[in-house]
A and B are shown apart, each in its own frame.
Chain A
Amino acid sequence: MSAAMEHRFTRDDNLYEDFTIGETIVHPRGRTISDGEHMLWTNFVLNTAQLHFNQKMCIDSPDTTFGGRRVVYGGIVFAFVAGLASEETEENAVCILSYDEGRHLNPVFAGDTLFAESTVLAKSEDDPRIARCGAPAPGLGPGKAGVVKFLLRGLNQRGEVVLEITRELVILKKAHRP
């Protein structure tokens, strides 16, 4: 076996057993969203809503935009907040079962800095979805993983919640860390 194949690519402190119901994980990093960056991601996914990338339209229509400011596309706010939370929650996940009850509670603008927190809402080892998650990768045998349900919150530099969403991840147990 080559050295690379013996190397483990995930941490050993974010497996199923490491999560305690009720605890809130405060993720270590923040991320400032820059102006051209959020426009680029909006265009990258072919999102054609001009309130994200047409400053003239925003200035001409302050009542139907965010006071004339270009708002950051929410799907990218979602992706950045999930990214900030990923190393502590998703690194040893086999798949994402669901996101639900997701709401953008405050707008995000260029220059804002995002932070993330994850609260452990529930854990389950006998969820039938575990066995068939991750298709087309092979399903997981019994006892290898469990479902952890988190409340993911994205906050800005003033501590205002910009995004709140629940998510269920299938996370490997310690004995099955790849």
Chain B
Amino acid sequence: MPEQASAPAGPRRLIRRGRYYEDFEMGAVYPHHWGRTLTDGECQLFATATMNAVPLYFNKLHAERMGHPAVPAHPLLVMNVVFGMTVEDLSEQALAHLGYWNLRFPRFTYPGDTLVATSEVLDKRESASKPDRGIVHVRTTGKNQRGEEVCVYERRILVKKRSAYGGL
């Protein structure tokens, strides 16, 4: 029997993250707190690891030929990085991510840019078939360090109800 350390005697503070269906307010805007700087290595790795065979995203000579100051980040890396920062506030308690609507990239993103994301709750409704869940409709906006929009999309998320799953 391995020796087991006993838990420290003081009070335990249990941390849970993620909003349940009841926690979303129509019209609320949630700033996602982290922010994320993209490096050139990350941009190059994403393009090649996802087999994105577009030299604009991994060839400096080609990017310059296309009029860019540097090799840009692939837009789907930008989308994924923005999306990732939203999860703690939007979908850490989700049952499923249903899809994407009206995804646009108003400007390119380059290595060294720092992205921040905010999301607005556009709609919420209870599931017609299952009482333990609801669908939340949000619009997420990613901006760079100059406040310029670089990625905007809407998303629908299937979220647990706190009443059904006993969240804290």
Contact = CB atoms under 8 A, between A and B. Distances in A.
Nearest to A87: B53
- Binding site of B, secondary structure by majority: helix, strand, loop or mixed? mixed
B83 A47 contact: yes
Contact of B101 (A64, A84, A100): A100
B36 A49 contact: no
A158 to B, nearest CB: 20
* Size class of the A contact interface (CB-based, 8 Å): 35 or more
Contacts of A87: 53-54
14 contacts: A9-B55, A10-B62, A45-B83, A46-B34, A51-B94, A64-B160, A75-B97, A76-B50, A79-B80, A80-B50, A96-B105, A97-B104, A137-B108, A178-B65
Given A78-B100, A97-B104, 7 more contacts: A10-B62, A29-B51, A45-B81, A47-B87, A48-B88, A99-B103, A104-B99
Interface of B: 17-18, 34, 36, 42, 46, 49-56, 59, 61-62, 65-69, 75-77, 79-81, 83-85, 87-88, 91-92, 94-108, 153, 160, 165
Interface of A: 4-5, 9-10, 29, 31, 41-42, 44-51, 64, 74-76, 78-80, 82-84, 86-87, 90-91, 93-104, 107, 134-138, 165, 178
